[in-house]
């Protein structure tokens, strides 16, 4: 279905020349147009969304997600890999693809905030259930998102584990959607360091890493912030290790287990009601 609408062309061939004056484009600036052309394909966009949970997926899975044949999916993935958005991994005779890093996932999440709703009608119970599951709890590359991720972020702020800082005082914006930019910064507190260390996260190792410790994403479904960065990734990993979280059947979807529901309530005072 998607294959009939998407022509598999090389996006780098389009508009690759400079302005009509013949002057070469300034190569020191990012080529936003090329990336935009890649994302303009519905099939490529669906594959990137499927890869946003950070796990490597086989070409056959990505083809099914995009609604195209495996050969067509392979061509799309080759273009995405050439642009540095995905990378291939080999395991024996099998080849898998994953996003090239957390920055790609963050960019996709940011685009989702400003993108209009998908006009495709939800006509089946399965599609409706998947849509609800994505909004409830999903992974955004390697950290938690959806209403679960937002609820946990709010709890950390309420309990003083994270502290929100602003360059200047701002009026109450609790009824307004979150956004990127200079709206907010978040810092880990001493109480947070102690609590997360007690939870089994090696805070010293995180501090020594090159990745920023605390970052945020604007959650596209909740329009509020969820925790990203090294701490967000470590927290999600710990949830999986404790069997608090399990992956769902669909890419990106995760489910909080009964153990996890009790765990987040006892450890972080987050009450999750389905």
Comparing C-alpha atoms, which of 34, 46, 30 is closest to residue 9? 34
pLDDT at 113 over 90: no
Comparing C-alpha atoms, which of 121, 135, 161 is closest to residue 221? 135
pTM for the full predicted model: 0.73
- Residue 21 CA, chain-centre distance (Å), reads 40
Average predicted confidence (pLDDT) for the chain: 83
Question: What is the rounded distance in angstroms from the CA atom of residue 32 to the CA atom of residue 37?
Answer: 9
Range with lowest mean pLDDT among 19-28, 56-65, 115-124, 264-273: 19-28
Other CB atoms within a 10 A radius of the CB of residue 188 amount to 19
Q: What is the structure's pLDDT at 274?
A: 61
Model confidence at 18, pLDDT cuts 50, 70, 90, reads: very low
Q: What is the structure's pLDDT at 242?
A: 97
**Quick one: how many helices (H) and strands (E) in the chain?**
12, 11
Tens digit of each residue's pLDDT (9 = 90 or more) over 43-102: 999 999 899 888 899 999 999 999 999 999 999 999 999 999 999 998 888 889 999 988
- Cβ proximity of 248 and 255 under 8 Å: yes
Residues 6 or more apart in contact with residue 265 via CB below 8 angstroms: 271, 272
Question: What is the rounded distance in angstroms from the CA atom of residue 60 to the CA atom of residue 37?
Answer: 24
Other CB atoms within a 10 A radius of the CB of residue 273 amount to 4
Which comes out higher in pLDDT, residue 81 or 26?
A: 81
Q: What is the structure's pLDDT at 26?
A: 55
Question: What is the rounded distance in angstroms from the CA atom of residue 84 to the CA atom of residue 104?
Answer: 9
Question: What is the rounded distance in angstroms from the CA atom of residue 71 to the CA atom of residue 8?
Answer: 10
Residues 6 or more apart in contact with residue 238 via CB below 8 angstroms: 199, 200, 201
Residues 6 or more apart in contact with residue 57 via CB below 8 angstroms: 50, 51, 96, 97, 98, 251
Model confidence at 178, pLDDT cuts 50, 70, 90, reads: low
Model confidence at 27, pLDDT cuts 50, 70, 90, reads: low
pLDDT at 167 over 80: no
Model confidence at 15, pLDDT cuts 50, 70, 90, reads: very low
Other CB atoms within a 10 A radius of the CB of residue 262 amount to 13
Q: What is the structure's pLDDT at 6?
A: 58
Average pLDDT over residues 3-26: 51
Question: What is the DSSP code string of 100-156?
Answer: S-HHHHHHHHHHHHHSPPP-S---SHHHHHHHHHHHHSEEETTEEEHHHHHHHHHHH
How far is CA 140 from each of CA 49, 69, 84, rounded to the nearest angstrom? 10, 26, 18
pLDDT at 209 over 70: yes
């Amino acid at each position: 279905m998607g294959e009939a609408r998407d022509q598999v062309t090389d996006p780098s061939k389009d508009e690759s020349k400079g302005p009509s004056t013949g002057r070469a484009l300034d190569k020191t600036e990012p080529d936003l147009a090329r990336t935009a052309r890649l994302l303009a394909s519905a099939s490529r966009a669906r594959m990137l969304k499927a890869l946003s949970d950070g796990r490597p997926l086989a070409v056959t899975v990505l083809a099914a997600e995009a609604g195209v044949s495996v050969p067509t999916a392979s061509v799309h993935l080759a273009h995405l890999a050439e642009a540095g958005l995905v990378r291939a991994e080999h395991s024996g005779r099998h080849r898998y693809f994953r996003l090239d890093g957390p920055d790609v996932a963050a960019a996709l999440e940011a685009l989702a905030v400003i993108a209009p709703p998908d006009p495709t009608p939800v006509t089946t119970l399965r599609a409706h259930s998947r849509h609800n599951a994505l909004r409830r709890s999903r992974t955004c590359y390697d950290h938690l998102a959806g209403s679960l991720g937002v609820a946990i972020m709010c709890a950390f702020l309420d309990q003083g584990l994270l502290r929100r800082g602003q360059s200047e005082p701002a009026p109450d914006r609790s009824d307004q959607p979150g956004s990127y930019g200079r709206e907010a910064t978040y810092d880990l507190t001493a109480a947070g360091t102690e609590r997360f260390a007690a939870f089994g996260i090696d805070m010293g190792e995180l501090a020594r890493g090159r990745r920023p410790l605390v970052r945020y994403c604007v959650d596209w479904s909740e329009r509020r912030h969820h925790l990203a960065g090294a701490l967000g990734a470590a927290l999600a990993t710990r949830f999986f290790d404790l069997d608090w979280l399990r992956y769902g059947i669909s890419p990106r979807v995760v489910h909080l287990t009964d153990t996890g529901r009790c765990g987040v309530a006892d450890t972080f005072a987050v009450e999750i009601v389905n």
